Amino acid sequence: MTRILLTGPPQCGKTTVVQRVVARFTGRAAGFYTREVREAGRRVGFEIVTLDGQVAWLSHVDFGGPQRVGKYGVSLDNLHRVALPTLVPAPGIDLFVVDEIGKMECLSPRFVAALERLWTAPVPLIATVAQKGGGYIQKIKEKPDKILFTVTPANREELPQWILDLVIKS
């Protein structure tokens, strides 16, 4: 089964590539992407946006609590409540999308377990993964049964079609 990972530095276009693949995909896709949120030109956090239209905060500069990545407090409750239900294999789902496998998401053992289940599911998977990071971020990039693309300005326009071709062939 096709497992495609997209990596690259922040703001290189990983999420845009994923969104373009989903927009062109003719089957049924499930999963989520993350979206940065800015207020007065300053990034204040990230939202989870599911492919079926649910939105919730993943992180925010004003969130307290023990789960933190840099200046952001992370809401594992929202990750579990909104994102994880979209990552359950079910009849009729032709593609899973996970944007992203990053430090915030990997604070959740339940998220990591869901990814491991998806990895073995008989459905294609497209995921973005942080360029830097240890633990599960490094582990998933080292898996042998995947295709890893580094998104760059030179390839980001062609990548959606390349990825669609790979998914359709699987």
Whether the per-residue pLDDT at 169 is higher than 90: the answer is: no
Q: Structure pTM?
A: 0.94
Kindly report the CATH number assigned to the domain that includes residue 17: 3.40.50.300
Q: Which sign, positive or negative, has the C-alpha torsion 141, 145, 101, 37?
A: positive
Residue the block writes with tokens 């940065």: 36
Residue 14: the pLDDT is 95
Q: How does pLDDT run across 91-130, given as a tens digit for each residue?
A: 999 999 999 999 999 999 999 999 999 999 999 999 999 9
Q: Domain limits at 150?
A: 3-169
Q: Is the pLDDT of residue 1 over 90?
A: no
pLDDT tens digit string along 24-74? 999 999 999 999 999 999 999 999 999 999 999 999 999 998 999 999 999
Residue 27 φ/ψ, nearest 5 degrees: -90, -165
pLDDT at site 74: 98
In the block, residue with structure tokens 């990972």: 5
Looking at the structure of the chain, the number of domains it has is: 1
pLDDT at 10: 85
Does residue 170 have a pLDDT over 90? no
pLDDT, tens digit, 9 for 90 and up, residues 7-16: 999 889 999 9
Could you tell me whether strands 68-69 and 95-101 are parallel, antiparallel, or unpaired per DSSP bridges?
A: unpaired
